[in-house]
Structure formats: structure tokens, C-alpha cells
Amino acid sequence: MIVKPKIRGFICTNAHPVGCATNVQQQIDYVKAQGTLHNAPKNVLVIGSSTGYGMASRITAAFAGGANTLGVCFEKPPTERKTGTAGWYNTAGFHAKAAAAGLYAKTLNGDAFSNELKQQVIDTLKADMSKVDLVIYSLASPRRTDPKTGEVYKSTLKPVGQAYRTKTYDTDKNVIHEIALEPANEDEIQQTIKVMGGEDWELWLDALGEADLLADNCKTTAYTYVGKELTWPIYGQATIGKAKEDLDRAAAAIVKTQASKNVQAYVSSLKALVTQASSAIPVMPLYISLIYKVMKEEGTHQGCIEQIYALFTDKLTHATPEVDELGRLYMNNKETNDATQAKIKTLWDQVTQENFHELSDYAGYHHEFLKLFGFDLTDVDYDADVESLVDW
């Protein structure tokens, strides 16, 4: 079939198989050009492995560190009439390249929150890989079914304590407008913590620990975004912020529970980027368009793969990595430093419907958005007939 992007709201409802494979190849090329990682982990589990920071982590571990990787994701396969999801094609592309390089790679597709999927991972590790020395937790989901009770929890993107009014950019309508978000109630806060907090991360490490599949001195990290003044009302002082605080609680709990293995658990604070998750969050399309403008001018812009390769080289491959005052692996200082934030704040105050495309790098934002789904890549012929029924 010939595949063109079908955009609805803040998502693209299809994906290009060749484009997704090309996107993966470009990330592989980047990490290989940087050189081999020293002290790299050799058995890596990536929970949430098919897109964004999770896929970048898997690529870095495998192609810069030579690691065996087991991925966990929840993606839809293609049918005769419809393409698969971008994560499906990303994973297929990764598998093909890993096989060509002689690297072990396997991916389990299913509900990562479930006990059944955790057991599948345990069985696979015992059969193929043995103990893991790095566990990446990079899940992004709007809902979660509690594996113990069967109750379904749904996350909410709302401020906490008071209403929040600000400007945002509607990517679907090409309009800058004001939005007003009412504060979350206590139930919405707790449900968001249940979905986006650290409980499931803990459950994964508990299951791996009980199965004796955590290597001595194993590291594990969950990814988060914190931001600064412009995004605090929707990230820090908000339902998401409460969930992120729970990640810190979970990290401490994991260290205590897995003390016999000297497991090191960290929350990694990464920079704001265009991802399938961030595209859905109010404020972020406008904010990211502005930071892309500023950081590209400063020469400090990084995409997913650059950020994750730096996380591995600067933090995860060190015996005792440097942490911030909250004990996190802090990677977004190039975005959140006062000088850069002042430039972004100036643009934020000035931006209007009329000057938006002049003051921002929305072209860069939109390119990165399309690239998530395998589109807008110069090396791909989008008029060519492609095979959409790709398997792993």
C-alpha cells in the first residue's frame, strides 16, 4: 500500500513501515558514530521499549554497548487494511538490525501492568538471558488496570490546588488560544498516581527480585520530565507532578527492598521533546516549539537518542553516578538553566497567532511529530508502494 500520514488531533492514526525503520536506523547510526560505551550493561530489560526514550534506550544499550535486550511494549500489528502502530514498525526495524549485528533481541507485546506479562518476561529471561544489570522503565499510558484488584485507573492532566489559565497551541486547528484548566479533585489525583506513579515500577522490580533475576549492583531508572516555571502548573504543581513525586518514593523503596543485591534505583529527569505522550499535554506543543527555537540557536538541542546516549555515558555506566539534590539523574540542565529559560519566557510573553511561526520552531516540532510515525524523512519515498504486513 501507499501510506500517507493521517493526522487526527494530537495523534497520527497510521505509520509508515519504511519510515519507522529508517528512523531507527538513523538512531543506530548516531550511537555507533559516538563510539563504544565503557562499563556498559550486558543484559537490559526495557519496559516501554517501542518509541521515544524507551526505543532510544534500547538502541543505545544494544548498538553502543553490545547488550542483549528484552523489550516490553503494547503495540497493534498491521492488518490487510490498516498499518500497524509506529512502535510495531520501530520494533520490527530494531529486530532486523539487531539480528544483522548478531545481537540478542526479543520483544514481548502485551499489557506491561499485568502479572501475566511480568511472568512472560521472567520466563524469557530464565530461558535466554539470565540476570539483568539494567532495567529501564519508560511506560506512558493513560490508564492502568491494577493486577491485584482488577480496578481500572485513569490519569488526568489537571493542576492541583487552583485553576490554571495559560496559552497553548492547538496543532489541529493551527491556533494559539487560552485554556483554563480546573483543579483536580482528590480522586483524580490518586488515580493519576496509580497510573503514572511508581507502583508498577516497584512491582516489576519485586517480581524480578523474587525470581532472582537482578544481578548484583543492578541499576534501574524510570524516566520523567520536570521542567521549570512555564510548565510547572501542568507538570510540577499538577496531577502529573504528584505522580512524578511517587516515582521518587518508589526509587527509595526499590533500593530498600533489593538491598541484598545492592540495586541502585534512580529517577532520570530528561528534557522536553516531541513524543506521543507530550503531544497530548496542554501547553507542551507551544512550549516545545519555543525551546526548540532557543536551544537550536544556542547549539544545545538534543533529540531522544542524543539525550539517552548522554544519560548512559554520563550516568548509567558509572558505578556511583552524580545525582541532583533530589537524588535524580538530572539530564535537562541545558533546557532548565536560568539563561535559557529567560529567553524562552521572553518569547512566551511575545508570541501571538500572527508571529507564532516567526518566533517558534514549529516547523521543527512538526517534523519531529511526523518522524515519530515514520513520515517526513528525506531518505524515504512516500509515493512508493510498501509492504505494511511486517512482522518481528
Distance CA 361, CA 301 (A): 12
At 28 the pLDDT is 98
At 181 the pLDDT is 86
Contact 268, 328 (CB under 8 A): yes
Helix, strand and coil percent figures for the chain, each rounded to 5: 45, 15, 40
Catalytic residues: 235
Helix (H, G, I), strand (E, B) or coil at 336: helix
Domains of the chain: 7-149+191-281+304-337 (3.40.50.720)
Distance CA 83, CA 387 (A): 10
Using the structure block, give the residue that is written with the C-alpha cell 520501530: 90
At 235 the pLDDT is 76
Helix (H, G, I), strand (E, B) or coil at 97: helix
Distance CA 98, CA 321 (A): 28
Q: pTM for the whole thing?
A: 0.96
Tens of each residue's pLDDT in the chain, 392 residues: 999 999 987 789 999 999 999 999 999 999 999 999 999 999 999 999 999 999 999 999 999 999 999 999 999 999 999 999 999 999 999 999 999 999 999 999 999 999 999 999 999 999 999 999 999 999 989 999 999 999 999 999 898 988 888 888 888 788 898 888 899 999 999 999 999 999 999 999 999 999 999 999 999 999 998 878 888 777 777 898 899 899 999 999 999 999 999 999 999 999 999 887 777 787 889 999 999 999 999 999 999 999 999 999 999 999 999 999 999 999 999 999 999 999 999 999 999 999 999 999 999 999 999 999 999 999 999 999 999 999 98
Q: Residue 379 phi/psi, 5° resolution?
A: -90, 5
Buried b vs exposed e over 32-66: b needs ≥16 C-beta within 10 Å? Answer: eebeebeebbbbbbbbbbbbbbbbbbbbbbbbbbe
Give, to the nearest 10 degrees, the angle between helix 52-63 and helix 86-100.
Answer: 0
β-strand pairing of 11-12 with 7-8: antiparallel
Q: How far is CA 359 from CA 285, 352, 362, in A?
A: 14, 9, 9
Other C-beta atoms lying within 10 Å of the C-beta of residue 96 = 16
Q: How far is CA 170 from CA 232, 262, 286, 378, in A?
A: 20, 47, 8, 26
Distance CA 114, CA 204 (A): 10
Using the structure block, give the residue that is written with the C-alpha cell 493542576: 159
Q: How far is CA 234 from CA 184, 270, 303, 326, in A?
A: 11, 16, 22, 20
C-alpha 17, offset from chain centre: 20
Contact 160, 183 (CB under 8 A): yes
Using the structure block, give the residue that is written with the C-alpha cell 544481578: 215
Other C-beta atoms lying within 10 Å of the C-beta of residue 2 = 11
The angle subtended at Cα 234 by Cα 232 and Cα 238, nearest 5°, is: 90
Contact 75, 84 (CB under 8 A): yes
Using the structure block, give the residue that is written with the C-alpha cell 533530589: 326
C-alpha 91, offset from chain centre: 15
Q: Which three three-digit cell numbers place residue 355? A: 508571529
Q: How far is CA 341 from CA 45, 192, 241, 273, in A?
A: 35, 28, 20, 15
